[in-house]
A and B are shown apart, each in its own frame.
Chain A
Amino acid sequence: MSLVELHAIHKSFGELEVLKGIDLSIDEGQVIALIGKSGSGKSTLLRTINGLEVIDDGVIIVDGKKISDRDADLLGLRLQVGMVFQQFNLFPHYTALENVMLSPQVVKKQSKAEAKQIAEEMLAKVGLADKMMHYPDQLSGGQQQRVAIARALAMKPKVLLCDEVTSALDPELVNEVLAVVRQLAEEGMTLVMVTHEMRFAREVCDKLVFMHQGRIHETGDPEEVFSNPKTPELSSFVGGLA
């Protein structure tokens, strides 16, 4: 059984139907990239996976358990599915270390020492052992995003969702963040990412999902999808990038 299964997901914003019946399964250890034009529904799809967007219709099954939109279910879901955002969304009134420690302490009720140990470990992993006492506005965008990754990892999620994690960064800061994501992929972390970094997706991902007008238009092995697109939409999307 897959770690996450999405069946016939529908989502509308008012009149606009953004997701028109999505089926997707995510296996343990898999690294999936969601690509497509803006407005194709890829970010919305990602956000349904941890319940930030409540779906109108369809079924989400995580680790064999069906998720409803009740609060308890959502909290359980989010314990398993972490998320990193385009805009980092670090908490400005906490240091990097406190940002990472907060949720393990208050949600998982870990002791301060335990939370601190894990937080230090995670921050070291993203290469920020020396910035733990800094506040977010004292860090560069790339550093903030790495703290955000450490913060998500400290909850020991089974899946990590990455929503355009390098799109808000200055070009010279993109690589330090991608290096961290690549390392996670190599360690076997299950990752689902919305990305515009096509070269990175091609190198790192196991599976590419091309979305178009609210549907999964084409999916497959990245090499295969890029070099041999089957649909005119994907080929124009890939061509437009080159």
Chain B
Amino acid sequence: MAYKFDFGAIVPHWQLLFDGVILTTELTVIGAVVGVGLGIMGAWARASRAPVISQIVGVYVELIRNTPFLVQLFFIFFGLPALGVKLTEFQAAVLAMIVNLGAYSTEIIRAGILAIPQGQIEAAQSLAMNRVQIFRYVVILPALKKIWPALSSQIVIVMLGSSVCSQIAAEELTFGANYIQALNFRAFEVYFVVTGLYLVMSILLRMGLKVLGNFLFERRRHV
């Protein structure tokens, strides 16, 4: 017997998908902003002269990069309460995304920093700038510019990865999809449409990051 597709069965539940898109967007924006901030600090620590701090950050990076995001999420949501840290689904999801992106962006940004020519740093030193000033005015912007495409890709990966946050009942897009298919038993149609939504979101996110990059690294040409 042939299956009859019924995409119309999703229409009555569009509000759930809409809410899911909003929440996924919120997770991604907070996760990306704080995660990249964490990555900048991590990269600074990795490049610093204090070997202990650098090693601690190194361990963090390796731990995160070599374990699945889903397990990190479960550990934070189900495991941390054992230490007295009780988080809501949203908080746990956003924390997991921050911690995850923080580790990846530490490595990515560090590569950007290492690509800054030594002469740039020597010139800044010769102008009597201290370490913080050199990092802030001379190093970080050109470093970010160099690795912006890689960082953008990683942010998209984190956004797509957030779909597993449905497993702790964070009410993002995939959660909405699960909910709808439990109501109308049209799993394939629902996931097909939601996959399309994710695809559109990742394309838009990529474009948005490109525009942001252009803005951040823009030159006010006066020629």
Out of A81, A89, A138, which one reaches B119, CB within 8 Å?
A89
CA distance A50 to B126 in the complex (A): 7
B131: chain A residues at CB < 8 Å are 71
Add 8 more A-B contacts to A75-B128, A89-B122 (CB < 8 A).
Answer: A50-B126, A85-B126, A89-B117, A90-B123, A93-B141, A107-B129, A134-B223, A152-B126
B126: chain A residues at CB < 8 Å are 50, 52, 78, 81-83, 85, 152
State how many angstroms separate the Cβ of B125 from the closest Cβ of chain A: 6
Q: Are B133 and A93 within 8 A (Cβ)?
A: no
Quick check: is B185 within 8 A (CB to CB) of the other chain? no
Number of B interface residues at 8 Å Cβ cutoff, please give it: 25
CA distance A51 to B128 in the complex (A): 10
Q: Which of B110-145 contact A (CB under 8 A)?
A: 117, 119-120, 122-131, 133, 137-138, 141-142, 145
Quick check: is B222 within 8 A (CB to CB) of the other chain? yes
CA distance A91 to B133 in the complex (A): 13
Out of A74, A81, A107, A134, which one reaches B133, CB within 8 Å?
A107
CA distance A82 to B125 in the complex (A): 10
CA distance A81 to B222 in the complex (A): 32
Q: Which of A109-156 contact B (CB under 8 A)?
A: 133-135, 138, 148, 151-152, 155
**Given the contacts A93-B217, A138-B223, A102 and B122 also touching, CB distance less than 8 Å:** no
Out of B120, B127, B222, which one reaches A102, CB within 8 Å?
B127
State how many angstroms separate the Cβ of B219 from the closest Cβ of chain A: 6
State how many angstroms separate the Cβ of B213 from the closest Cβ of chain A: 13
Q: Are A152 and B127 within 8 A (Cβ)?
A: yes
* Cβ-closest chain A residue relative to B127: A103
Q: Mark B47-79, 1 if CB is under 8 A from A, else 0.
A: 000000000000000000000000000000000
B222: chain A residues at CB < 8 Å are 95, 133-134
Query: Interface SS of chain B: helix, strand, loop or mixed?
Result: helix
Q: Are A91 and B130 within 8 A (Cβ)?
A: no
A75: chain B residues at CB < 8 Å are 128, 130
A138: chain B residues at CB < 8 Å are 223
Q: Mark A25-61, 1 if CB is under 8 A from B, else 0.
A: 0000000000000000000000000111000000000
* Cβ-closest chain B residue relative to A90: B123
CA distance A213 to B125 in the complex (A): 28
B129: chain A residues at CB < 8 Å are 103, 106-107
**Given the contacts A133-B222, A135-B219, A92 and B142 also touching, CB distance less than 8 Å:** yes
Q: Are B120 and A91 within 8 A (Cβ)?
A: yes
B133: chain A residues at CB < 8 Å are 106-107
Q: Mark B205-223, 1 if CB is under 8 A from A, else 0.
A: 0000000000001011111
A95: chain B residues at CB < 8 Å are 220, 222
Q: Are A89 and B128 within 8 A (Cβ)?
A: no
Q: Are B137 and A89 within 8 A (Cβ)?
A: no
State how many angstroms separate the Cβ of B50 from the closest Cβ of chain A: 13
Quick check: is A79 within 8 A (CB to CB) of the other chain? yes
CA distance A92 to B126 in the complex (A): 17
State how many angstroms separate the Cβ of B151 from the closest Cβ of chain A: 17
- Name 17 interchain pairs, CB-CB below 8 A, sorted by A: A51-B125, A74-B125, A75-B130, A79-B128, A83-B122, A87-B119, A89-B117, A90-B123, A91-B120, A95-B220, A102-B127, A106-B137, A107-B128, A133-B222, A134-B222, A134-B223, A135-B219
